[in-house]
Every structure is written in structure tokens, then in C-alpha cells.
């Protein structure tokens, strides 16, 4: 088992690109709706209870949060999006921050897009998918909270999302994941291994 992910440590939160760590090595960014379970997924796959802050109030991640795995490899927790109670001005700031990071960050290798299996493919999910497709960045979809519905329904959602993406001629990988049941961890670890080791 690769213990690299269990060594993840928080480095800093950046309100803009100027405040980010040096743009070298390789980063994998985690994106998703504010209440899709992004922080919980990060904590689960690193086997740490509070690496990424979870909150009962969606929308708490408003900065770019960087976590180091080693000198050359990092995770980045992107600002959550799409939560209605956040003021419009703050939403615009988040959007601008995300856009500049995704467009300009040289060390960004791929995106893990976190979606609640009960509410997949929201408008902003599609924006992220299209951006990755346009920029040729690898994209992996994590359908979280798979424990909230029965396995058959979760599998059907997985196939439905896969079909919709194939119809748009978009090549991504995807899987079911549950932080509560700790299911899908090996799959995401294998994927991350391949991304970090890719030439």
C-alpha cells in the first residue's frame, strides 16, 4: 500500500495565485460543490480526520488550500462552488480565483471532481468538465456519499453519468466513493499513483 497519501500535511491557504507555493512539481486539485463531500473525501483517502476542514455550513472553503505529500507532490482543495447562501460578490471572487488557478498553474496535472451521487452533473460540474476537456487535463469523477442510496441505484447513477459524458465525447474516469463506509479508497489511490508517476 502506498503510504504517501497518509503523510499529507497542510501547508497554506492562498487567497490568490501570488500567495501559492512555488509552481513546481505536480499537483492534483479537488473540486466540487460545497456540500458534495470534498473535504471528507480528502480526509478519508489520506486517513486523517481533520486534514481538510469539514463543516456543517457548506461553502467554508473559500481559499486555495495546499497540502504537501513530499517536495514534488501536492493536493489542492479548491473553493467549493454553487452554494446559494453565499453572497454574489463572494461567488464572483471564488470563480475568478478558480479560473486563474486552473488556467495559469503550471504544476496542475489533473482534477478530481467530487459530486454527490444523488445530485450529479450540476451546471458548474459541466463547466469544470468542459474546462478539463478543453485544457486536456486528466479528470476523475468521485461520486461521493454512495452509502446514502442502495448499491443498485448508485451503480445506475454511475452508468448514467458515464453515458452522458460519452455522448458529449468526453473521456473521463469515474467511480463510487463513500467516506462513511470507506469504500472506493483503493481505486482512488491507484488512480493518484498513476497520475503522480505519469511521464
Q: Check residue 54 and give its pLDDT.
A: 61
* Structural domains of the chain, count: 1
Domain of residue 31: give its range.
4-197
Residues 66 and 146 sit within 8 Å (Cβ to Cβ):
no
Residues 54 and 46 sit within 8 Å (Cβ to Cβ):
no
Alpha-carbon 39 to chain mean position: 9
| Cell numbers found for residue 182 | 470507506
**Within 10 A of 199 (CB to CB), how many other CB atoms are there?**
2
Instruction: Identify the bridge partners of residue 31 per DSSP, sorted by sequence position.
Output: 113
Q: Check residue 22 and give its pLDDT.
A: 96
Q: What is the pTM of this model?
A: 0.92
Domain of 66: which CATH number?
Answer: 3.40.50.300
How many whole angstroms separate alpha carbon 75 and alpha carbon 42? 9
Q: Check residue 55 and give its pLDDT.
A: 54
Q: SS3 of 9, please? A: strand
Distances (CA, A) of 105 to 146, 162, 176: 32, 28, 28
**Within 10 A of 174 (CB to CB), how many other CB atoms are there?**
19
Pairing of strands 26-32, 73-77: parallel
Q: Check residue 56 and give its pLDDT.
A: 53
Mean pLDDT of each 10-residue bin along the chain, 199 residues long:
84 92 97 89 93 62 87 92 70 82 95 96 90 91 97 97 94 95 96 92
Q: Check residue 131 and give its pLDDT.
A: 87
Amino acid at each position: 500500500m502506498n503510504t504517501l497519501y497518509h503523510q499529507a500535511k497542510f501547508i497554506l491557504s492562498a487567497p490568490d495565485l501570488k500567495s501559492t507555493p512555488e509552481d513546481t512539481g505536480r499537483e492534483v486539485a479537488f473540486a466540487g460543490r460545497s456540500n458534495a463531500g470534498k473535504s471528507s473525501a480528502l480526509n478519508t483517502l489520506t486517513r486523517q480526520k481533520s486534514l481538510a476542514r469539514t463543516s456543517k455550513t457548506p461553502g467554508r472553503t473559500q481559499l486555495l488550500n495546499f497540502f504537501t505529500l513530499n517536495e514534488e507532490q501536492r493536493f489542492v482543495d479548491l473553493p467549493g462552488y454553487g452554494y446559494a447562501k453565499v453572497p454574489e460578490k463572494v461567488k464572483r471572487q471564488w470563480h475568478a480565483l478558480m479560473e486563474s488557478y486552473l488556467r495559469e498553474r503550471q504544476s496542475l496535472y489533473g482534477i478530481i471532481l467530487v459530486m454527490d451521487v444523488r445530485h450529479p452533473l450540476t451546471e458548474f460540474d459541466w463547466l469544470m468538465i468542459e474546462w478539463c476537456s478543453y485544457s486536456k487535463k486528466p479528470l476523475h469523477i468521485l461520486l461521493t456519499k454512495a452509502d446514502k442510496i442502495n448499491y443498485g441505484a448508485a451503480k445506475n447513477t454511475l452508468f448514467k453519468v458515464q453515458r452522458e459524458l460519452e455522448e458529449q465525447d468526453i473521456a473521463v474516469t469515474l467511480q463510487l466513493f463513500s467516506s462513511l463506509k470507506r469504500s472506493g479508497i483503493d481505486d482512488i489511490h491507484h488512480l493518484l499513483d498513476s497520475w503522480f508517476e505519469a511521464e
